[in-house]
Structure formats: structure tokens, C-alpha cells
């Protein structure tokens, strides 16, 4: 017992002695792991010809504290702990796609890199948990006209394992010319991300209809292909470079149990996406400046319990500017 | 340690290629040349460095510094800046 306590104290002291770094991020939504292209937070207002207006907002503001544990030997696995607190808003007041989620999320994640994969390609794994608490607009009856919604208290817990894998490339890396006008197009890049886990989703309050808890299991796979490489500047169109990214994603959430007035269900979501990330070629652009446009085309079909999405087909085109 | 970290983040099998199997030869490459995918690949490289750097007398590199590094030359400088030289 004393030995166990000493081991625990040593582990706590080791963690406290490692430096911690913190960061604040703002994006459209949370991701289990970071992506090279993150959808920026958005706020939009549309006034239709019939005089009706639509507003949408997607923002996820997160504060993260990260701590890397010192490895005990040159070949020991590398681990990094990240604690986060976030506030989120997802709102859409269009009659056929109503959404109003707002709340806070607490998260913990441990990133792991092992020394045993050899030349298979870069690989990392992450496991963690997340607790979300807030209010959500829940669709009660999609047969009614207009559809019946109710504002309810939502609380969700999620335990997950996720991973990143980039297949190995053959050959050797080649250096690009320093002159951006004479750069050759880069070779194709691709990477996969996957996740699997368990969830618990509880709904309470509101008009009392549709309340209860669903417990279930989930899995997802995402394939990202960059046919002309990941460097926009290598594929010049005038003073801009562009790096297209094709994304195919599929996820499934399957309820294992249901209580209260809720029923067991299976939610599947399929997404196909094209992202065009433009980059100014600073060496030749001169006065263009550093304003970078990006275009995103996305078609998705299906439902997402944890994302609060009822079954629907959706086509989205978004234009972003960053600097 | 730095060489292994870069090899882990790059999809090229750098360790078995005679043209790239030393840090001196890698010095002229950018992360893009090595196909280290922004976000995931760089995260692997810096996690490996920060976890093992204490064994070699250095200190962990802060995100504010590592996020600005775009090439191997810059990476070497950022890591060596953390090593305290005692007279």
C-alpha cells in the first residue's frame, strides 16, 4: 500500500515538474484531433426575397492546457496530456434546418506516439473523454407542419480512441527550387483518421416529450486526399497558389440502450467534401498582401446524435478569408 | 533524437535512404519537402522532441516557438536554443 502511494506521489510529481503550455483556439466546431484545414468560426445573416431572414452561427472557443511527460529512455513512447474547457454556439433559425445548441464542454485527451511502427508511415493515437452540458433545440416531430421543436437541457459524455495514419511514400524527398515560378507540382499526399468510442446522451426538461437517456457505441473513418500535395504555393494560378483537399467521411452511432421516452436508433452520416485553400505567393505577389481566400463544398447525408443533427441531406458552400 | 523525430513525422523512410540518413543532409529541407502534414505530422515531431529532450540536456520547446518553425534548420535552432551551456 505504501509502495503504491509512493508510486502515485512520484507520478504526480513527474507530471507537475513537466512544463505546461496553454493555447486558445476558435473554430466552427470541435475535433477529436487537429486537422490541417480547420473550418473557421462563422456568423451569417441572410434576408430572403419573401422578407424572412435567416441567421446562422457556428463557434467553438477552446482553452487548452497541454503537458508533455518526460520519457524515461530514448526509445520510450512519447505522451502528451491536454485538458480543455470550451464554450460553443451552433445556431440556425431557418424553418427547415432549425438548430440552437449552446453550452460548455470539458475535455481530456492523451496523445501517444510509439517507437515501434518502423517505416509504415507517420502514426499517432489519442484517447480521451469529453463532457458536454448545455441547452439544445430538439426535433420532436418531423411529420408535423411546421416541424415540432423543443428547447431542452442536454448532457453528453463521450469516451473515445482516435488515430492518424499517413501511408509511407516511396523514394526520397526532393528539394524545390527557391524560385516559386519554377516549382514543380508536388506529389500526392493522403492521410486517414479514425475514431471509436462509447457515448451517453441525456435529454431533460422542455415540454417533457422525448426525454431520457441513450447509451451507445460509435465509430468513424475519414480519408483525406491532396492530389497536388499540401503546399498551395506549388500549384500557382497567377499570384495565388491552390491546394485542393478531397475528404470522404463515414460515421455510425448505434444506441445500445434507451430509457425514458427515448427509443433505440442507429445514426449514420456520410460526407464528401472539397476544400480549396488558396495561398498568396508572397515572393511574386507584391501588393496583394496576405489575405487568403478558401472555398469549401460539402455534401452530407444522414443523422448525427451527438452533433444534434436529425436525418437530412445537406449541400453547403462556404467562402472564407483569413489573414 | 532530432533525426528520429523528423523520421517519425515524415512518410519517407529516411532512416534507410543513404541520401537522407543524416541530420546534416536534412538541414536544407522544409517540412513541406518532407511531406510532414501540417497539424498531425508536426505534432508527432514536436511531441517526440519534447518528450525526450530532457535526456539530452535540453528543455521542452513551447508551442509559441515550435508553431513558427517551418523547416529542419529552424527546428535544430529552436531545440539548441533550449540547451543551457554551463561554463
pLDDT digits (tens, 9 = 90+) for A126-172: 999 999 999 988 887 777 777 788 888 999 999 999 999 999 888 78
Average pLDDT over residues A305-316: 84
Pick from B12, B43, B52: CB nearest A71:
B52
- Whether the per-residue pLDDT at A286 is higher than 60: the answer is no
State whether B51 and A19 contact (CB < 8 Å).
no
Q: Give the global pTM.
A: 0.80
Residue of B nearest to A69 (CA): B51
Cα–Cα distance measured from residue A318 to residue A233, given in angstroms and rounded to the nearest whole number: 22
Q: Look up the domain containing B69 and give its range.
A: 2-80
Q: What is the pLDDT of residue A281?
A: 58
Band of pLDDT at residue A67, cut at 50, 70 and 90 = very high
Does any domain span residue B86?
A: no
Secondary structure letter of residue A147 according to DSSP: P
Chain A and chain B share a number of CB contacts under 8 A equal to 123
Sign of CA dihedral A279, A283, A289, A290: positive
Pick from B9, B51, B59: CB nearest A122:
B9
> Which 3 state secondary structure label does DSSP give B84?
coil
Does any domain span residue B41?
A: yes
- Whether the per-residue pLDDT at A3 is higher than 80: the answer is no
- Which of A99-108, A127-136, A167-176, B55-64 comes out lowest in average pLDDT? A167-176
How many H-runs (helices) and E-runs (strands) does chain A carry? 2, 14
Interface test with B, best of A25, A62, A78 (most B CBs within 10 A): A78
The total of structural domains in chain B comes to 1
Cα distance between the two ends of chain A: 57
Does any domain span residue B62?
A: yes
As given in the structure block, the three cell numbers for residue A201 are 446522451
C-alpha distance from residue A223 to each of A167, A191, A227 (Å): 11, 6, 12
Chain B: closest CA distance from residue A89 (Å): 25
Cα–Cα distance measured from residue A281 to residue A285, given in angstroms and rounded to the nearest whole number: 6
Q: What is the pLDDT of residue A14?
A: 47
Cα–Cα distance measured from residue A26 to residue B4, given in angstroms and rounded to the nearest whole number: 32
Q: Who wins on pLDDT, A175 or B72?
A: B72
How many residues are recorded in chain B?
A: 87
Chain A: closest CA distance from residue B47 (Å): 6
Does any domain span residue B72?
A: yes
Band of pLDDT at residue A285, cut at 50, 70 and 90 = very low
Average pLDDT over residues B42-49: 94
Q: What is the pLDDT of residues B21-41, one digit of tens each?
A: 788 888 888 888 888 877 889
State whether B47 and A18 contact (CB < 8 Å).
no
Pick from B4, B11, B63: CB nearest A121:
B11
Contacts of B8 in chain A (CB under 8 A): 113, 122
Pick from A19, A79, A175: CB nearest B60:
A19
Q: What is the pLDDT of residues A172-199, one digit of tens each?
A: 887 665 555 555 556 788 999 999 999 9
Report which of B43, B67, B14 is spatially closest to residue A124, judged by C-alpha positions. B43
- Work out the mean pLDDT of chain A and round it to a whole number: 81
Does any domain span residue B63?
A: yes
Q: What is the pLDDT of residues A9-39, one digit of tens each?
A: 554 444 445 567 777 777 777 765 555 556 6
- Percent of the residues in chain A that have a pLDDT greater than 70, as a whole number: 81
Interface residues of B toward A, Cβ cutoff 8 Å, are 1, 4, 8-17, 19-20, 28-30, 32-41, 43-44, 47-48, 50-52, 54-55, 59-60, 62-64
A292-304 vs A212-226, strand pairing mode = unpaired
As given in the structure block, the three cell numbers for residue A285 are 505577389
Q: What is the pLDDT of residues A200-252, one digit of tens each?
A: 999 998 877 889 999 999 999 999 998 887 777 677 776 677 888 899 999 99
Report which of A276, A265, A189, A251 is spatially closest to residue A224, judged by C-alpha positions. A189
Band of pLDDT at residue A104, cut at 50, 70 and 90 = very high
Q: Which residues are within 8 A (CB) of A229 and not within 5 positions of it... i.e. 6 or more apart?
A: A185, A186, A187, A188, A189, A235, A243, B32, B35
As given in the structure block, the three cell numbers for residue B52 are 525526450
Chain A: closest CA distance from residue B38 (Å): 5
Cα–Cα distance measured from residue A279 to residue A292, given in angstroms and rounded to the nearest whole number: 5
As given in the structure block, the three cell numbers for residue A196 are 471509436
Does any domain span residue B21?
A: yes
Does any domain span residue B52?
A: yes
State whether A172 and B15 contact (CB < 8 Å).
no
> Which 3 state secondary structure label does DSSP give A92?
strand
Does any domain span residue B87?
A: no
Q: Which residues are within 8 A (CB) of A64 and not within 5 positions of it... i.e. 6 or more apart?
A: A22, A23, A24, A25, A82, A83, A84
State whether B32 and A78 contact (CB < 8 Å).
no
- Whether the per-residue pLDDT at A254 is higher than 90: the answer is yes
Q: What is the pLDDT of residue A12?
A: 47
- Percent of the residues in chain A that have a pLDDT greater than 90, as a whole number: 38
Pick from B28, B30, B37: CB nearest A166:
B37
State whether B63 and A33 contact (CB < 8 Å).
no
Report which of A238, A129, A228 is spatially closest to residue A185, judged by C-alpha positions. A228
Instruction: Give the DSSP letter string of B8-62.
Output: HHSSB-GGG-TTT-SHHHHTT-BTTTTT--TTHHHHHHHHHHHHHGGGGT--PPP
Q: What is the ipTM of this complex?
A: 0.88
Cβ atoms of A89 and A37 within 8 Å: the answer is no
The neighbour count for residue B62, using CB atoms within 10 Å, is 14
Cα–Cα distance measured from residue A308 to residue A86, given in angstroms and rounded to the nearest whole number: 17
Contacts of A191 in chain B (CB under 8 A): 37, 40
Interface test with B, best of A24, A173, A195, A294 (most B CBs within 10 A): A173
Cα–Cα distance measured from residue A19 to residue B71, given in angstroms and rounded to the nearest whole number: 24
Amino acid at each position: 500500500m505504501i509502495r503504491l502511494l509512493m508510486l502515485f506521489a512520484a507520478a504526480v510529481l513527474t507530471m507537475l515538474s513537466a512544463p505546461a503550455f496553454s493555447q486558445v483556439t476558435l473554430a466552427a466546431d470541435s475535433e477529436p484531433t487537429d486537422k490541417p484545414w480547420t473550418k473557421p468560426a462563422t456568423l451569417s445573416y441572410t434576408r430572403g426575397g419573401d422578407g424572412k431572414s435567416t441567421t446562422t452561427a457556428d463557434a467553438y472557443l477552446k482553452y487548452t492546457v497541454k503537458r508533455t511527460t518526460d520519457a524515461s529512455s530514448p526509445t520510450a513512447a512519447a505522451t502528451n496530456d491536454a485538458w480543455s474547457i470550451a464554450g460553443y454556439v451552433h445556431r440556425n433559425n431557418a424553418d427547415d434546418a432549425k438548430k440552437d445548441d449552446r453550452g460548455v464542454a470539458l475535455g481530456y485527451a492523451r496523445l501517444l506516439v510509439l517507437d515501434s511502427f518502423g517505416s509504415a508511415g507517420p502514426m499517432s493515437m489519442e484517447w480521451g473523454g469529453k463532457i458536454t452540458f448545455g441547452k439544445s433545440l430538439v426535433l420532436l416531430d418531423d411529420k408535423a407542419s411546421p416541424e415540432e421543436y423543443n428547447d431542452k437541457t442536454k448532457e453528453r459524455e463521450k469516451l473515445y480512441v482516435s488515430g492518424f495514419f499517413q501511408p509511407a511514400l516511396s523514394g526520397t524527398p526532393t528539394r524545390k527550387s527557391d524560385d516559386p515560378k519554377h516549382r514543380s507540382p508536388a506529389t500526392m499526399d493522403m492521410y486517414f483518421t479514425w475514431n471509436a468510442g462509447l457515448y451517453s446522451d441525456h435529454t431533460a426538461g422542455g415540454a417533457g416529450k422525448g426525454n431520457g437517456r441513450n447509451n451507445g457505441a460509435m465509430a468513424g473513418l475519414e480519408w483525406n486526399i491532396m492530389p497536388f500535395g499540401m503546399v498551395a504555393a506549388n500549384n500557382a494560378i497567377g499570384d495565388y497558389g491552390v491546394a485542393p483537399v478531397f475528404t470522404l467521411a463515414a460515421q455510425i452511432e448505434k444506441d445500445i440502450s434507451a430509457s425514458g421516452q427515448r427509443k433505440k436508433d442507429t445514426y449514420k452520416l456520410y460526407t464528401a467534401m472539397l476544400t480549396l485553400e488558396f495561398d498568396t505567393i508572397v515572393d511574386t505577389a507584391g501588393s496583394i498582401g496576405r489575405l487568403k481566400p478558401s472555398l469549401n463544398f460539402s455534401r452530407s447525408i444522414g443523422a448525427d446524435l451527438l452533433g444534434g443533427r436529425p436525418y437530412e441531406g445537406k449541400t453547403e458552400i462556404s467562402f472564407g478569408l483569413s489573414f | 533524437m532530432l533525426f528520429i523525430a523528423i523520421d517519425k513525422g515524415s512518410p519517407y523512410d529516411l532512416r534507410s535512404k543513404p541520401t537522407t540518413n543524416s541530420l546534416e543532409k536534412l538541414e536544407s529541407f522544409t517540412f513541406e519537402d518532407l511531406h510532414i502534414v501540417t497539424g498531425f505530422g508536426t505534432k508527432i515531431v514536436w511531441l517526440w522532441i519534447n518528450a525526450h529532450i530532457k535526456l539530452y540536456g535540453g528543455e521542452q520547446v513551447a508551442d509559441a516557438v515550435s508553431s513558427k518553425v517551418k523547416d529542419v534548420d529552424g527546428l535544430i535552432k529552436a531545440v539548441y536554443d533550449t540547451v543551457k551551456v554551463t561554463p
